[in-house]
Amino acid sequence: MPSNTASSSAAAGSADSSTSRRNSKRPKYSKFTQQELPACKPILTPGWVILTFLVISVIFIPLGVVSLFASQDVVEIVDRYDNDCIPAPARANKVAFIQGAADKTCNRTIVVPKKMKQPIYVYYELENFYQNHRRYVKSRSDAQLRSVKDENQIDACKPEDDVNGKPIVPCGLIAWSLFNDTYVLSKNNQALNVSKKGIAWKSDREHKFGKNVFPKNFQMGNITGGGKLIPDVPLSEQEDLIVWMRTAALPTFRKLYGKIETDLQENDTIHVILKNNYNTYSFDGKKKLVLSTTSWLGGKNDFLGIAYLTVGGICFFLALAFTIMYLVKPRRLGDPTYLSWNRVPGGGR
Amino acid sequence: MAGERRHKGMRLSKLYSFKCLKPFSKEDHSQIGSRGYSRVVFCNDPDNPEALQLNYRGNYVSTTKYTAANFIPKSLFEQFRRVANIYFLVVAFVSFSPLAPYTAPSVLAPLLFVIGATMVKEGVEDLRRRRQDIEANNRRVLVLSKNGEFSKTKWKNLRVGDLVKVHKDEYFPADLLLLSSSYEDGVCYVETMNLDGETNLKLKHALEITSVEESSIKNFRGGVIKCEDPNEHLYSFVGTLHYQGQQYPLSPQQMLLRDSKLRNTDFIVGVVVFTGHDTKVMQNATDPPSKRSKIERKMDKIVYILFSILIVIAFTGSVFFGIITRRDVTDDGKKMRRWYLRPDRTTVFYEPRRAVLASFFHFLTALMLYGYLIPISLYVSIEVVKVLQSIFINQDQEMYHEETDRPARARTSNLNEELGQVDTILSDKTGTLTCNSMEFVKCSISGTAYGRGMTEVELALRKQKGMSMRPQDDEIKANPTKSVKGFNFWDERVVDGQWINQPNAELIQKFFRVLAICHTAIPDVDGESGEISYEAESPDEAAFVIASRELGFEFFARSQTHISLHEIDHVSGEKVDRVYELLHVLEFSSSRKRMSVIVRNPENRLLLLSKGADSVMFERLAKHGRQFERETKEHIKRYAEAGLRTLVIAYREVDEEEYRIWEEEFLNAKTLVTEDRDALIDAAADKIEKDLILLGSTAVEDKLQKGVPDCIEKLSQAGVKIWVLTGDKTETAINIGYACSLLREGMEKILITLDSPDIETLEKQGDKDAVAKASFQSIKKQLREGMSQTAAAATTDDSANEKPEMFGLVIDGKSLTFALDKKLEKEFLELASRCGSVICCRSSPKQKALVTRLVKTGTGRTTLAIGDGANDVGMLQEADIGVGISGAEGMQAVMASDFAIAQFRFLERLLLVHGHWCYRRIAMMICYFFYKNLTFGFTLFWYEAYASFSGKPAYNDWYMSCYNVFFTSLPVIALGVFDQDVSARLCLKYPLLYQEGVQNILFSWERILGWMLNGIISSMIIFFLTINTLASQAFRKDGQVVDYSVLGVTMYSCVVWTVNCQMAISINYFTWIQHCFIWGSIGVWYLFLVIYGSLPPTFSTTAYQVFVETSAPSPICWLTLVLVTFSALLPYFTYRAFQIKFRPMYHDIIVEQRRTERFESGTRTASAVSGELPVQVEFTLHHLKANLSRRDSWN
């Protein structure tokens, strides 16, 4: 628009404007493009702050109480046996004992402290066992577990991949180190049936472990790891293996051993004949036998309830603290004197 | 040859004294043929074998960054120049090795996604450029074909040596050598707006030998041009035309550059000299320096910090891993500790006997594992956000200028957030603060002042005296029959022919005749309406011609020798045509500061008509011509005070004899071809421009743009400093400074100048060294004085912080040269930073850039330069942000700018609203990004501690790779694009809010580290609460226990919920988009879980059915989720609550104010109005007082 086209610009201007009306570059109006969409603009006013804290505490404290009650309902018997099941003379060198050929049978007696309703779950608990070690976790072949066709897919399984060139099924460190302590329970000298059915996840049984995959060359290597498998039972029915192969997340873990489908009364004495086969001694791991009922929340753990109560309590305390603060030292909403740079007009630098 | 002209036309070359036939320097021409001067052009003979051999490039132009062939490698290269991307590339490669903690595809996928997205963006941008190229390349031009006819050819097919014909208002397709034009002497007018931004027309002149008729030019063959090689100097050209055995030197006078436009000339014929990328304009087209915002630079630092954190935790992990691994086998190698890992038969990565090596490899693994600390999608998200932000800037209706049909344009999206941090604005004056359209508002004729129009400054004064503005407005509106651009003059004594009745009518007539005749404008008569418009070299001149036309001296035709006016005879009052014979034009030049014409009037009397600056004109008056000198000087002073540009008008009668003698001498000087030709012409012109008779003076207003004072006021309220760098003289600059409230009442002015008598005397002696020395000392002294002045004010004044408002620094160009000296620049900057406003007058483009650099590097703060002309380009490129005004003066500034707006006043919205928002958004976004990645990354680290640092990730591979891309990215983008702390209206109402950006409060290290800390705390809360609630006990009624996959899913859900809810509680603005994205992201996570979990276990591995079968039916998982999410948000929420209570941020207060306003519903509207009115009232008062005090102190 040169400034020197003086009077013609009036004429040209009108022509311009008529054309520009047709294809003007004027941005189209919409609430979106003009950034004027209707919006909720939450502000942390004292009221809202206190209300939020109060609401949280009001929800959390009851939740905590309920969780604690649920946890309290659970009856849990934990029996650590790794130390006791080594005969006293052999305790100086536990590893030698466990690796030796001596009889590993061990008798344990458990007294039921409180009535336990069936089903009662039997777990074994290991501590300081890193099932989540990267080398360990990767050392398996899901393909092989699923179908016979893929039994040669053993790349990930080293060093437990093959024996004399023949693939091990199931291969890998996880399967190789299968837990093999066994418990035989009896109540008041009557055998207590521990059911092994349905201790593994359904999806594992049905989709991850094949119905026609049978153990092959298992534990035939130069070093025997853990438990052995029954050769003519398909993997999908070897639930102990399936449970074991669902790796634990943390170094302390329980795994289902079985279910007791009868109630146990208070002061019932349970006798356990235990085969202490599994070597946790070389890495100082603990072994425990756990009998537990469940509530709707699962097993016994007060942590959730306590955590809920704590957080709820903190929120309640904060609500209180803020209320007092606002009462004692109120700040007028929108009072600009609180600004750090307000005392420096002109944006002092 | 010249005498034998057949067709009618003008011989303008004869009239102009200085412009044509500049002497050539022999030196340059002697270089032709040597290195750098080797180009040979065979005119009209492009098929000549010799020409073909030279193989010059065609006229095809490509400005794209990529070609189809190199797009992929080049854009990949660009991508991997970023440290973070290289890291991810390395990670991706290593992920194929057994070192990788997770599978290769899960690493590659997000990287490919991110790289791909960026490449698509690059590609689209480049495609747009390509389309523009195609458009330019396929434009058509007339080329002389073999059969001797001009035929249309595409631009891209032009070859060096082609003869082309360009018509009026067409662009030149390449650099042409002008051969002939429709004017018989081969002149033409060129508009070089696209090259240098100057709107005035430039006169180009063909060699006499070539300026033949069109029919004969077709036979122009055999000419050979030897000239310089392509270079980027727009104003130089060295070459020789060899034609018919003769050599003719060529100069820039004959060059028509590509992208300039032919004006006012029906057509030209030229020969193509430089094509395509060889043209001067393309040689000049260097990529503008790519600018990065401060935030982005800081972000790089943060990425480095994250890298350090990454290395530290990876290293820590490796050390532990090494120790643990070494213990796996006893020293004798016989016993295995963790036998289930088979440490006796292992790979090198877990080899206990080479634990150091193993831990080194582990270190590499860990670097990959914790790679989630480095947000891979950060860069791409930021780019997406910035592009969207730019769209919002482009779409803002409030920044659309109706008159010019120009919306604001963000030409780069890199600097959006920088707009929110501007500390100093360096502004050009003409065309930026002012419209650069001159309006004739006043004149003083024979000692009488005419013109009732009010300038802005005067309006303010008038109001201060208590007079209402209203009647004046009405008068102005009622009287002029039509509003004419460039003319704002109204005086009932003069308009509508009333001047005839004035006692000094004869002088008035003479006065306007001078205005109507003494110029170089060209009339352009509209065939239909008969209206006349003018093409003038400067807007001032146009204003004069228009003024004289409006007052009855209509200049309607110019021929080679005559100027014709429609005049009103002052005796009869009738309209008559008068023709003046134009004898000579003594043009304006910056050294002469005046212009004269010599004409013979219809009465056959010789007249010299002259106009010029007061400084040179008054000394040329004759004794008897000084009748009104005192009054005129008085008026000129008053006009200058009112911010007007003045010129003195004078004339004299020349007697024939004197003229004859003078002309001879003058023509002699003109035809000389020596170095001192200009000086001789000058001297000759000087001889006749004397003994003038004063007629009066004109006053032209360079109007302030609409809204400029308000905008400046708002910006200074926002704490932004404004420097004006102008080429104007000191007085004008100061006046404008007052008019746009840069200088205010009560401001102490510090004037630094070299216009002192002793330096002037030194200058007269001509000792340059002595002058420089004395000047240096003088400036040093003045700077010191200024410093002590400001220091004194600081100590005496209790409210010490008021001091930046109290001083205004004015410095002129000559002084600036010395003040910018290395030795003084520190002091200068120090002084300037103590002053509220700084005005640099008479500064050259280079000085503008230097000042900008000084401010930028000296203060380390963000500078914004705003300008509209080619002279501002340096400044725009030097500043952190360049804003171009796409106004009257060309596109050069806009092309060099980062943002283009149509008017200065849009700067207010650009900075206070968009700048503030963008700054806030980007700052929050980056902080949040680091937060979310630390939250996620550190859960991995804590988990490692529970997995003997073996490098096992806590989550499934694909959860992790989707984290940044699907589950958390959209809310961040929504934050970056839509979040607003306060509405646009409030941003403008409380400009101080802008200081949040200037002081970088939202992106200070405390805040960044605070967010990082928040991330780490969150990760701890998430991890430890989760593992403790989901410990070893059964987690469902059916007695099942938590395994690796369940813990991963639960913890990951906690992370997704926490970071998304954190977003929800930290944003201030919830539209449906935010709701959609935040809750949608969480929804997508569960959707993903279901879909991914239902894939066969070979794909989904640990995620197989994990949600549907395992964790969803478990109440404890959900309870954990609730607990963890609330607990992880609690620290931040509590902190915010405390902060708002005790140390609220400015926007918090404003938001609260808005709320309280809303609550006071009854008085709300009233208070809103009354709250805004006083600001304006106060400002106006301010303005008035300012003008008053200025009058006292400056004049």
pLDDT tens string for chain A (349 positions)? 333 333 333 333 334 444 444 467 788 888 888 888 888 888 788 888 999 999 999 999 999 999 999 999 999 999 999 888 888 888 888 888 888 888 889 899 999 999 999 899 999 999 999 999 988 988 888 888 888 888 888 888 878 788 888 888 888 899 999 998 999 999 888 888 999 888 999 888 888 898 888 998 888 877 778 888 888 899 888 899 999 999 999 999 999 999 999 999 988 899 999 999 898 988 888 999 999 999 998 889 999 999 999 999 999 999 999 999 888 877 666 555 555 444 333 333 3
Query: In A82-136, at which residue ranges do the beta strands (DSSP E only) sit?
Result: 105-111, 120-126
pLDDT, position B370? 87
Q: Using the beta-carbon criterion (under 8 Å), do A6 and B486 form an inter-chain contact? A: yes
CATH classification for the domain delimited by B409-432+705-790+804-901, as one of 3.20.20.140, 3.40.50.1000, 3.30.230.10, 3.30.420.40: 3.40.50.1000
Any domain includes A185: yes
What are the percentages of helix, strand and coil residues in chain B, rounded to 5?
55, 15, 30
Question: Residues A196, A307: one domain?
Answer: no
Cβ-based neighbour number of residue B794 at 10 Å: 15
Give pLDDT, residue B456.
66
Query: Which residue in A134, A176, A202 is closest to B101 by CB distance?
Result: A134
What pLDDT is stored for residue A16 in this prediction?
41
Same domain, A183 and A320: no
What interhelical angle do B1115-1142 and B1044-1066 show, nearest 10? 30
Look at B1044 and A28 and tell me if their CB atoms are within 8 Å.
Answer: no
Separation of CA B893 from chain center: 6
- For residues A10 and A14, give the distance between their C-alpha atoms in angstroms, rounded to a whole number: 6
Of all residues in chain A, the one with the smallest CA distance to B1050 is: A249
- ipTM metric: 0.91
**Domain count across chain A:** 2
Segment 189-208 of chain B within 8 Å of chain A by CB: 191, 193, 199-200
Q: How far is CA B57 from CA B143, B174, B277, B279, B987, in A?
A: 18, 12, 8, 10, 54
DSSP calls for A197-240: TT-S-HHIIIIIS-TT---BSTT-SSS--S----TTS-GGG-HH
CB A35 within 8 A of CB B392: yes
- Compute the average pLDDT of residues B898-918: 90
E strand or H helix at B324 = helix B294-326
Residues of B in contact with A300 (CB under 8 A): 1033
pLDDT band for position B9 (cuts 50, 70, 90): very low
Which of A7, A179, A219, A277 is the mutation pick for testing B, counting most B CBs within 10 A?
A7
What is the model's pLDDT at position A290? 93
Q: Is B171 exposed, middle or buried (0-12, 13-18, 19+ CB in 10 A)?
A: middle
Structural contact between residues B700 and B439, judged by C-beta atoms closer than 8 angstroms: yes
Q: Closest to A300 (Cβ–Cβ): which among B546, B1033, B1105?
A: B1033
Chain B nearest-CA distance from A87, in A, is 21
pLDDT in tens, B191-211: 776 666 556 677 788 887 777
The whole-number average pLDDT for the span B662-683 is 76
B967 or B552, which is more confident?
B967
- Tell me the pLDDT tens digit for each residue of B843-859: 777 788 888 888 888 88
Stretch B721-738: mean pLDDT, rounded?
78
Check whether B26 has a pLDDT greater than 80: no
Same domain, A64 and A124: no
One domain for residues A303 and A265: no
Q: Is B875 exposed, middle or buried (0-12, 13-18, 19+ CB in 10 A)?
A: buried
Report the pLDDT value the prediction gives residue B1049, as an integer from 0 to 100. Answer: 93
Residue written as token pair 């873990």:
A253
CATH class of B158-284: mainly beta
Q: What is the dihedral of CA B1065, B1068, B1071, B1077, to 10 degrees?
A: -40
Domain B438-468+483-584+613-650+692-703 has CATH 1.10.1060: no
CB B193 within 8 A of CB B178: no
Contact: B438, A299; criterion CB under 8 Å: no
A348 touching B (Cβ < 8 Å): yes
Domain assignment present for residue A67? The answer is yes
Q: Please tell me the predicted confidence (pLDDT) of residue B4.
A: 36
Tell whether A37 is covered by a domain: no
Peptide bond preceding A89 in cis form (omega within 30 of 0) = no
Task: Evaluate whether residue A89 is within a structural domain.
Answer: yes
Model pLDDT, residue B1180 = 42
Question: What does pLDDT average to over chain B?
Answer: 80
Q: Is the pLDDT of residue B1191 over 70?
A: no
Tell me what the mean pLDDT of segment B887-901 comes to. 74
Q: What is the pLDDT of residues A204-258, one digit of tens each?
A: 888 889 888 899 888 887 777 888 888 889 988 889 999 999 999 999 999 999 9
- Hey, which residues of B are catalytic here? 428
pLDDT of res. A308: 95
Any A CB within 8 A of B732 CB:
no
Chain A environment of B200 (Cβ under 8 Å): 4
Q: What residues have CB less than 8 Å from B101, skipping those under 6 apart?
A: A134, B365, B368, B369, B951, B952, B953
Task: For residue range B605-632, list pLDDT tens digits in order.
Answer: 899 999 988 878 888 888 888 888 888 8
Report CA B1066 to chain centroid distance, whole Å. Answer: 34
Do A212 and A313 have their domain in common? no
Contact B407 A282 (CB under 8 A): no
Domain-by-domain residue ranges, chain B?
63-139, 158-284, 295-374, 409-432+705-790+804-901, 438-468+483-584+613-650+692-703, 914-1160
* Residue A251 and residue A315 in one domain: no
Nearest CB among B338, B802, B1071 relative to A39 is that of B1071
DSSP assignment of A287-340 = EEEEEE--BTTBS---HHHHHHHHHHHHHHHHHHHHHHHHHHS---TT-GGG-T
CA of residue A176 relative to chain centroid, distance: 24
| Same-domain status, A307 and A192 | no
Give CA–CA dist B590/B727, Å, rounded.
13
The answer to whether the beta carbons of residues B944 and B365 sit under 8 Å apart is no
Q: Give the predicted TM-score (pTM) of the model.
A: 0.80
Q: Is residue A190 domain-shared with residue A314, that is, in the same domain?
A: no
Residue A195 has phi, psi (to 5 degrees) of -80, 135
Task: Please check whether residues A178 and A321 belong to one and the same domain.
Answer: no
Those of residues 1-30 in B touching chain A at CB distance below 8 A are none
Decide if B1120 touches A, using CB distance below 8 A. Answer: yes
B contacts of A326 (beta carbons < 8 Å): 1141
A224 domain-assigned? yes
- How confident is the model at residue A259, as a pLDDT? 93
Q: Is A332 part of a structural domain of the chain?
A: no
Residues A317 and A189 in one domain: no
- Burial status of residue B672 (CB atoms within 10 A of its CB: 0-12, 13-18, 19 or more): middle
Q: Is residue A334 part of a domain?
A: no
Which residue in B395, B309, B318 sits closest to B350, CA to CA? B318
Task: Point out the annotated binding site of B for ATP.
Answer: 428-430, 541, 588, 611, 645, 726-728, 842, 848, 871-872
Instruction: Specify the pLDDT at position B44.
Output: 79
For residues A203 and A104, membership in a common domain is answered with yes
Those residues with Cβ within 8 angstroms of residue B859's Cβ, 6 or more apart along the chain or in another chain:
B423, B424, B829, B833
Question: Any idea what DSSP says for residue B493?
Answer: T
Give the residue on A whose Cα is nearest the Cα of B1114: A297
Q: How many CB pairs under 8 A join A and B?
A: 368
pLDDT at B30: 67
Looking at the structure, tell me whether residues A100 and A247 fall in a common domain. yes
pLDDT of residue B10: 45
Q: Which domain holds residue A173?
A: 78-293
d(CA A262, CA A270): 13
A179 within domain boundaries = yes
Whether the predicted pLDDT of B640 surpasses 90: no
